[in-house]
Amino acid sequence: MRRSSIEILFYMLKEVVESVYSFNNTDNIEKDVFIASDREAAIKHLKSLYPNLPFRKPKNATPGTRYLYLTDSSRLWYDYHHGAVTFECSYCVIESSVIGEKNIIKNSAGTYCSETCKTNHEQMM
């Protein structure tokens, strides 16, 4: 199998916590997808952002300990976080654009250009 010249990678910044509500006693602080030439370049990039953090949970981690998690991802998730999306507001019928599908304000009744339009549409229904 031939590898592509770029890799799409997903990372999470995690923190160890003491909480019965937290899965595996960790919380996700930050998540993102990015493109790098290879895995080593991705590690270098993350080390420049977070110079003192390990890439796995330390064995005897205490609450407040932070660490990074890095894994392969796909174009679908990159576009979900960083792709340009154009949509029509369900309330004011104005066409809007956002970066990343995750940033669209939506509910079961439609998609909205602002929280105000969402609230007005919910009150109208």
Q: What 3-state DSSP class applies to 94?
A: coil
Residues of the chain below pLDDT 70:
1-5, 23
Question: What's the confidence (pLDDT) of residue 9?
Answer: 84
Question: How far, in Å, CA of 105 to CA of 113, rounded?
Answer: 7
State the pTM of this model: 0.64
Four-CA torsion 19, 22, 28, 29, nearest 10 degrees: -30
Question: What's the confidence (pLDDT) of residue 3?
Answer: 52
Contacts of 64 (CB under 8 A, 6+ apart): 15, 16
Question: What's the confidence (pLDDT) of residue 75?
Answer: 86
